[in-house]
Structure 1
Amino acid sequence: MNGLPTSFAPLKRMAALACALLLCACQQSLESTLPAGDAAYAAVAVPDAGPVVYALQVGDRVDVRVFQEADLSVEDVAIDETGSITLPLVGSIQAAGRTTQVLAKDVERAYGARFLRDPYVTVVLRAAVARTVSVEGEVERPGVYAIQPGQTLLTAMALSGSPTDTAKLDEVLIFRTVNGERFGGRFDINEIRSGRMPDPALLPGDVIVVGFSAARGRYQDFLRAVPILGIFGRF
């Protein structure tokens, strides 16, 4: 008795066909829930997830220039562990969490309150501490990469050696935390490369998953929850 009776052979073929159809339906159902279209990019502007505004942080180094006041201007000053910088006359000023423009206004107010009339201040970011993103999935060199302010998804793809031949380029995910909430979005690399979709700017701490066919199970719930291509949704 090597195997099933001949009468079971059609049943085996029918079962195999049913399984194949079921798998195909599941795949189509999963992909049909995923978004498409440029309207999705309007939704990228969830809190702080739109255009990148660089906030200074501990360890960054800045130049503070007070117009026509060389003695009050400083170069290459580090933001200390308290998030502050120390300036002549006015002492400690909070810098971490502020943009260079906001910090410049704070310095103007500090000098204007006691020492100068209508001071004009510029703040320039001289060096930023390393900001990193993680790239995983179907890329040549998955890992953690340093990024600079304003760098984009395509930058991360280039840093990680570009996608493998088997990567699903319409299934590239970006996960990020904004104000303590977890967000994610799905992007199509071919659409971005062709200019039909914007190239999303990255934020420090972003996790990028490329192709993820081997990790599909980990992200099925997220994929079903994301209604539009390019949207950053909570999960």
Structure 2
Amino acid sequence: MARDASAYQLIDAREEAVDPIYRIGPFDVLTISVFNEPSLSFQSIPVDAAGQFDYPLIGTIVAEGMTVAQLTQEIKTRLDSQYYRDSRVTVFVTSSASQFVVVEGQVEEPGRYELPQGRASLLEVIALAKSPTNTAKLDQIMVFREIEGERHGAVFNLADIRRGAVDDPLLRGGDVVVVGYSSLKGAFRDFLTTAPFFNVFTRF
């Protein structure tokens, strides 16, 4: 597991290192409309697991990896080449299933969280999971990312990030965040909940 400077080299904290342009992926849901053509306008078209979908008149479109602008132009070009002179096509990503992170471990609400803009900082992702529990080990926040087909991991200190001592790294779709468990905090919590009386020593 990469730590300190090595962690930031792996999970680059610089905003410019993240592609700000959203690219369509498997299981995204699209809204596609063609002006004055209700038969070609749809509120909900799902992209399948292979990153493609079927569209009337022009058949299968491989959308994975395309930007909205590129997909719009692809549909327009294929329609205009056979059926229209100058079709007016509009495409929106209604639901982004491909851009999500998974948060596990010592947070109040572990789960899978969508990144509407395709990116979010580590603090923002932890906030989506309703913050760490009182038994979380804040200096052991692990981020796992697949890079060129291999899984890599980095460890960050959330307390240092919160006080501005280090950068808040940017995460991207597909990352997995695991918040570690502090056995000392857990034991102390158990002690407080089981101690019979205040001001009385008990075995700990």
Task: Indicate whether the TM-score tops 0.5.
Answer: yes
Paired AA for residue 56 in structure 1: I
Q: Distance in 1 between matches of 2:80 and 2:125?
A: 43
| Shift in CA distance, 89/55, structure 1 to aligned 2, threshold 3 Å | same
Structure 1 match to 2:42: 74
| Shift in CA distance, 211/105, structure 1 to aligned 2, threshold 3 Å | same
Give the conservation status (yes or no) of the 8 Å contact 1:168–1:211. yes
Report the Cα offset of residue 94 of structure 1: 1.7
Which structure would you say has the larger Rg? Answer: 1
Structure 1 match to 2:122: 153
| TM-score, with length taken from structure 1 | 0.56
Report the Cα offset of residue 106 of structure 1: 1.7
| Shift in CA distance, 188/112, structure 1 to aligned 2, threshold 3 Å | farther
Report the Cα offset of residue 157 of structure 1: 1.7
* Count of residue correspondences: 175
Is 2:55 the partner of 1:87? yes
Is 2:79 the partner of 1:111? yes
Structure 1: segments with no counterpart, 5+ residues: 1-29, 215-235
Report % sequence identity: 30
Question: Whose helix proportion is higher, 1 or 2?
Answer: 1
Question: Whose strand proportion is higher, 1 or 2?
Answer: 2
Structure 1 match to 2:156: 187
Determine which of 188, 197, 200 is the counterpart of 2:167. Answer: 197
Structure 2: segments with no counterpart, 5+ residues: 184-204
Q: Distance in 2 between matches of 1:145 and 1:198?
A: 20
| TM-score, with length taken from structure 2 | 0.63
* Cα RMSD (Å): 3.7
Q: Distance in 1 between matches of 2:163 and 2:86?
A: 49
Paired AA for residue 197 in structure 1: D
2:92 aligns to what SS in structure 1? strand
Q: Distance in 2 between matches of 1:191 and 1:120?
A: 51
Q: What aligned pairs does 1:25-40 form with structure 2 within 5 A after superposition?
A: 34-36=3-5, 40=8
Paired AA for residue 107 in structure 1: I
Report the Cα offset of residue 151 of structure 1: 4.0
Give the conservation status (yes or no) of the 8 Å contact 2:107–2:136. no
Give the conservation status (yes or no) of the 8 Å contact 2:107–2:179. no
Q: What aligned pairs does 1:1-235 form with structure 2 within 5 A after superposition?
A: 34-36=3-5, 40=8, 44=12, 50-51=18-19, 53-66=21-34, 68-71=35-38, 72-80=40-48, 82-129=50-97, 131-136=100-105, 139-141=106-108, 143-149=110-116, 150-165=119-134, 167-194=136-163, 197-204=167-174, 206-211=175-180
Q: Distance in 2 between matches of 1:187 and 1:81?
A: 33
